[in-house]
């Protein structure tokens, strides 16, 4: 077991608000308030520790501090973002509702498949389908699960090659419905052309979006979620049913201009706020 402390230096970050706000689906809150999850094929436990986050690996291997700073986007000053957002009264209310939300930098393929699953679906069911997907086809994580005492070790998110080798019958137990076909087709496309991932990550946002839209099961909303959560394009602004309602009601004149270059981050505050109300 290995632990590292990630200093926050006054940067806002709430584990609960960040890990359970609908951008990531595999973190679980433990009875002691810590969170356990699988990232990069390894099990970790996260706990708040004053002005720091304690990251403990379940496999005993070293915890890469640089990785976690990047995961939590600690290079972005949310203190500054909040200050700018709060100049707008409505956006200020959204931020105040859950000021500890940060937009994570997650794995591209995991985000891509997860948000294909998310379409026309609700969050508890999205989580359940993803967990079954990982249980069925993900690689084992090394060592003991850090969180649950007697719970079975959780598995990594499956690799594209693994999912590409499967048939619709294999996915039937996931109960993913018509999305199963999208999962297979997208996984095959990436498995057959791995270079496309570098092409996407290296492209300007409009070009990256255009490529993403070619995958079956990826439309404008899912593409924007992948850009935002899986590619660190914080200007991407996913519009789902909640945001559509919230924008009409809270921001009929559009997003405040100071939020436009980080529209996706503002979107998370608005999404969270809207979902709590309506």
Catalytic residues: 221
Q: What binding mask, one character per residue, do residues 133-162 give for DNA by CB under 7 A, x or -?
A: ------------------------------
Nearer to DNA, 46 or 247 (CB): 247
Q: Give min distance, CB of 133 to DNA, in A.
A: 14
Give the three-class secondary structure for 245: helix
- Residue 50 token pair: 């004053």
For residue 115, which of 13, 31, 238 has the smallest C-alpha distance?
238
DSSP E strand boundaries for the chain: 2-7, 28-29, 35-39, 42-48, 52-57
From the centroid of its chain, how far is CA 126? Answer: 12
Please select the residue that binds DNA; options are 1, 241, 260, 277, rule is CB under 7 A.
Answer: 241
Residues 85-124 that bind DNA (CB under 7 A): 115, 118-124
How many chain residues bind DNA (CB under 7 A)? Answer: 38
CB 240, min distance to DNA, A: 4
Contact partners, residue 42, CB within 8 Å, separation at least 6 = 57, 58, 59, 61, 141, 142, 156
Please identify which residue in 12, 160, 217, 230 interacts with DNA, judged by CB under 7 A. 217
CB nearer to DNA: give 207 or 214.
214
Binding to DNA (CB under 7 A) within 255-274 occurs at 267-268, 271
Q: What's the sign of the alpha-carbon dihedral 120, 125, 127, 129?
A: negative
Choose which of 20, 88, 110, 240 interacts with DNA (CB under 7 A). Answer: 240
Residue 173 sits in the site that holds DNA (CB under 7 A): no
Q: Is 177 in the site for DNA (CB under 7 A)?
A: yes
- Which CB atom, from 19 or from 43, has the smaller least distance to DNA? 19
CB nearer to DNA: pick between 83 and 175? 175
| C-beta of 16 vs 216, nearer to DNA | 216
Q: Provide the sign of the torsion angle of the four alpha carbons 163, 169, 174, 178, taken in this order.
A: positive
Q: Does 57 bind DNA (CB under 7 A)?
A: no
Q: Smallest Cα–Cα separation from 184: which of 227, 210, 215, 209?
A: 215
Which residue lies nearer to DNA by CB, 21 or 63?
A: 21
Three-class SS of residue 57?
strand
Structure tokens at 19: 């890990």
Please provide the DSSP assignment of 142-188 as one string.
Answer: SS--SS-SSSPPPBPPPPHHHHHT--HHHHGGG--TTHHHHHHHHHH
Regarding 251 and contact with DNA (CB under 7 A), the answer is: no
Give the burial class of 145: count Cβ atoms within 10 A of its Cβ; 0-12 exposed, 13-18 middle, 19 or more buried.
middle
Could you tell me which stretch among 18-26, 147-155, 161-169, 191-199 binds DNA (CB under 7 A)?
Answer: 18-26
**Is the CB of residue 43 less than 8 Å from the CB of residue 154?**
yes
CA atoms of 216 and 125, how far apart (whole Å): 21
The residue within the footprint of DNA, chosen from 3, 4, 7, 22 (CB under 7 A), is 22
The answer to whether 232 contacts DNA (rule: CB under 7 A) is: no
Contact residue for DNA among 10, 50, 178, 248 (CB under 7 A): 178
Q: Which residues lie near DNA (CB under 7 A)?
A: 21-23, 115, 118-126, 172, 175-178, 182, 215-223, 225, 238, 240-243, 267-268, 271, 275
């Amino acid at each position: 077991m290995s632990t590292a402390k990630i200093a926050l230096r006054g940067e806002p970050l709430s584990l609960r608000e960040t890990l359970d706000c609908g951008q990531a689906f595999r973190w679980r809150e433990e009875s002691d308030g810590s969170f356990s999850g699988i990232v990069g094929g390894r099990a970790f436990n996260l706990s708040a520790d004053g002005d720091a986050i304690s990251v403990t690996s379940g496999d005993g291997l070293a915890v890469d501090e640089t990785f976690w700073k990047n995961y939590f986007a600690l290079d972005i000053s949310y203190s500054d973002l909040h200050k700018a957002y709060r100049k707008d009264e409505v956006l200020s209310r959204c931020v105040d509702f859950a000021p500890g939300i940060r937009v994570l930098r997650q794995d591209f393929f995991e985000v891509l498949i997860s948000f294909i699953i998310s379409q026309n679906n609700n969050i508890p069911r999205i989580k359940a389908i993803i967990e079954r997907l990982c249980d069925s086809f993900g690689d084992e994580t090394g060592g003991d699960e850090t969180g649950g005492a007697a719970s079975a070790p959780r598995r990594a998110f499956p690799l594209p090659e693994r999912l590409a080798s499967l048939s619709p019958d294999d996915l039937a137990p996931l109960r993913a419905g018509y999305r199963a076909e999208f999962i297979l087709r997208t996984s095959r496309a990436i498995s057959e052309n791995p270079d496309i991932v570098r092409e996407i990550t290296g492209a300007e946002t409009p070009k990256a979006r255009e490529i993403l839209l070619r995958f079956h099961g990826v439309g404008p909303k899912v593409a924007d979620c992948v850009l935002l959560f899986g590619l660190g394009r914080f200007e991407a602004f996913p519009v789902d049913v909640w945001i559509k309602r919230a924008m009409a009601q809270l921001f009929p004149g559009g997003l405040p201009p100071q939020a436009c270059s980080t529209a996706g981050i503002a979107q998370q505050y608005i999404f969270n706020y809207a979902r709590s109300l309506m």
